[in-house]
Structure 1
Amino acid sequence: MVLFKNSPALRLIGLLAGVVLLILVLLASVLLGHQNFSVQQLWQAYSQFNGSNEHLILLNTRVPRAIIAAMVGASLALAGAIMQVITKNPIASPSVFGINSGAVLFIVIGLAAYGSSLTMGSMVWIAFVGAGVTALFVYVLSMQGGARYEPVKLTLAGASVAAFASSITSGIILIKKDSLETALFWMIGSVSGRQLEHLVIVLPYMVIGWIIALLLSASLNVVALGDEIAQGLGQRIMLIRGIAAAVIVLLAGSSVAVAGPIAFVGLIVPHLCRYIVGTDHRWLLPYCALAGALLLVGADLASRFIIISKEVPVGVATALIGVPFLIHVARRSKHA
């Protein structure tokens, strides 16, 4: 069942409604928390800044946090949607396939080697290399024992690499204790404490990834029909998969570089959006970007109230939603 099936007008209205909802959720994320603010205070923080604690919290903490959550959520959702179509695996996502864990491992290795001298720009490139190497390794590992592609083998390879990368990361932190505090900043998976300066460094890579993903949407529709049909229609399957893999590395790597390994956004959002707009990627990808931003901003807002006395990382909130959803998708695929 598709909610807006064969109705471009309803899909457009839904997209516009989602934009309005995202603005409202962003506003709520800025204003609400253990300390609440008013719209007037937010306006005065920009128009009549007086250096008060309220204005500093709004400008240096709440606004950057909300914007970063929206950008990272959109990127992870797009990466998940593309992974699911090119791998033909309904549970594919950067977190499930270990790409996030691989990027974090490389960042922790860099921090252990260079410490505080490692710049944010260097971390971005390290995250990209980690994401790319992990993706390649998972693919090669899944092809062992026969050249035929099998989604189950790819999933097992991804889960194994994710566990391996997480174990090595923990081991490095235990050995290199002087890098513990900085490394944990990346391992937690949170948008708290991040600054707009961090986002500015990775934003160009995110935007490039978004643009290429949207340009690739028509080709993804053909690839979803199957390799033989796609080749019969003149599509260059290997080229499309190569470009798609580069987009995934750009989006996942930049997201990890700024916010750490936030799981399940890339898994949950594409499935929800397919229920709304179907499998046409020309509509699905914009919906995924919007819904991913909504999910992560909303999860970050909810994470402030899970424990009354203090906030928890947004990764905890997404895991509370994502683990049951993963089980549901796996059970549905088994009975399909």
Structure 2
Amino acid sequence: MEAKKTNKIPTLIMVTSPFFILLAIVISILYGTKDISALTAWQAITQFDEGNVDHNIIVSSRIPRVVAALLVGAFLAVAGAVMQGVTRNYLASPSIMGVNDGSAFIVTLAIVFFPGISNYQMILLSMLGSALGAGLVFGLGSLVRNGLSPVRLAIIGTVIGTFLSSIASAIAMYFQVSQTISIWYNSKIHAVQPDMLRLAIPFGIVGLLLALLSSKSITVASLGEDIAVGLGQRTKWVKALSILSVVFLTGTSVALVGKIAFVGLVIPHITRFIVGVDYRYIIPCAAMIGAVFLAFCDIVSRFINFPFETPIGVVTAIIGVPFFLYLIRKKGGRQSA
């Protein structure tokens, strides 16, 4: 009876989320530095006039922007949920474990040394950077005594991330492309390219499918290595599939809009609190909640210092930093159960 009651919550989230997603889309399209009427927005979608400035703002800027915010929110939330489940580390997330920084670092090298690189190649290199960042952090963590504990791994991730960011900044300054590189480290969601968005969607969907396919195995893995092995799980395959999912999701997100922190940390915890510990429910629900969360963060970022825009990373940090400190204070250095 209790199981049936619990299962109603994920269903409720999946049913109500489209309403909030639609609300975010409408607000994002209509409001910004310049307010646009609903009639004009509708005409821009149904009867696009290339000579109309408002139509161009909607089609080339605001629609791609809100779609990118929804997708990246979903991608990062799922990536964080997968990382926390597989590693049993409550602080695991793309932004803390060096995954975002690895992507941004490789993107920086690509922009400096291969300025004519295509969007497709940029996404692939960004995913390679995700794997590099994760490999460096977890590799170094395995060499240090108790390095895989949540707090120590977070410290190692922060150090590696700062190191990669510093090298990227130095390279960018030397080659005089600091202005271009800065938007990758501060998020360029306001300047998302429609062509890049179309290319990124299939890669993100692959990452989501990999996460959904491994969701049952992640639930078992989250119980601990010994229990998972005792239940006959091939833990190495589960970890490999999960890491591949995180690489696709994070690499695609960074290539699309640059670095955005704390979504992959906060949303999985909120989702787990609401729906329980079954990752068959956590992953789809985290995707929905993450999408709504980042879309509304983007809306808030437009009005904090109106008519000037505040970087969306500031908004996510306002929420994420206190949450991060709360987790450390509440759980200390223990692994999640």
1:308 aligns with one of 300, 306, 309:
306
Within a 5 Å distance, the mapping from 1:218-237 to structure 2 comes to: 218-237=216-235
The counterpart of 2:195, out of the listed 187, 194, 197, is: 197
Change (3 A) 1:234 1:314: same
Matching of residue 175 in structure 1 with residue 177 in structure 2: no
Secondary structure of residue in 2 paired with 1:311: coil
Cα pair distance change 1:155/1:55, threshold 3 Å: same
RMSD: 1.9
Alignment of structure 1 residues 15-94 onto 2, 5 Å: 15-50=14-49, 51-94=51-94
Q: Which residue of 1 is the match for residue 323 of structure 2?
A: 325
Letter in 2 for 1:141: L
* CA positional deviation for 1:335: 9.2
How many corresponding residue pairs? Answer: 332
- 1:30-88 deviations in Å (ceiling 9; x for gaps): 11112112322111112222221111111111100000110111000000001111111
C-alpha separation in 2, matches of 1:47 and 1:77: 33
The residue that corresponds to 2:135 in the other structure is 136
In 1, the alpha carbon distance for the partners of 2:121 and 2:327 equals: 37
> Quick one: structure 1 residues 334 and 5, their matched pair in 2 at CA, closer, same or farther if it must change by over 3 Å?
farther
- Distance in 2 (CA, whole Å) between partners of 1:174 and 1:211 is 39
Q: 1:145–1:56: structure 2 CA closer, same or farther, 3 Å change rule?
A: closer
Measured after TM superposition, the shift of residue 305 of structure 1 is 0.6
1:231 aligned partner, one-letter code:
V
Offset, 1:173: 1.4
Structure 2, gaps ≥5 residues long = none
- Counterpart CA distance in 1 for 2:179 and 2:332 is 42
Give the letter aligned to residue 201 of structure 1: L
Q: CA 1:148–1:29 in structure 2 vs 1: closer, same or farther (change >3 Å)?
A: closer
TM-score by length of 2: 0.94
Spell out, residue by residue over 1:106-147, the C-alpha distance to the aligned partner (whole angstroms, 9 max, x if none).
1111111122x1221221111111111111111110011459
> What TM-score, normalized to structure 1?
0.94
The equivalent position to 2:252 in structure 1, one of 242, 251, 254, is 254
**Equivalent residue for 1:154?**
153
Give the Å deviation of 1:190: 2.9
Deviations 1:202-238 (A, max 9, x none): 2111000101101111111111111111111110111
Task: Name the CA shift for 1:91/1:311 in 2 (closer, same or farther; >3 Å).
Answer: same
Contact 2:70 2:292 in 1 (8 A): yes
Q: Specify the SS of the correspondent of 1:321.
A: helix
Aligned match for 2:290, one of 283, 289, 292: 292
Query: 4+ residue stretches of structure 1 with deviation over 6 A?
Result: none
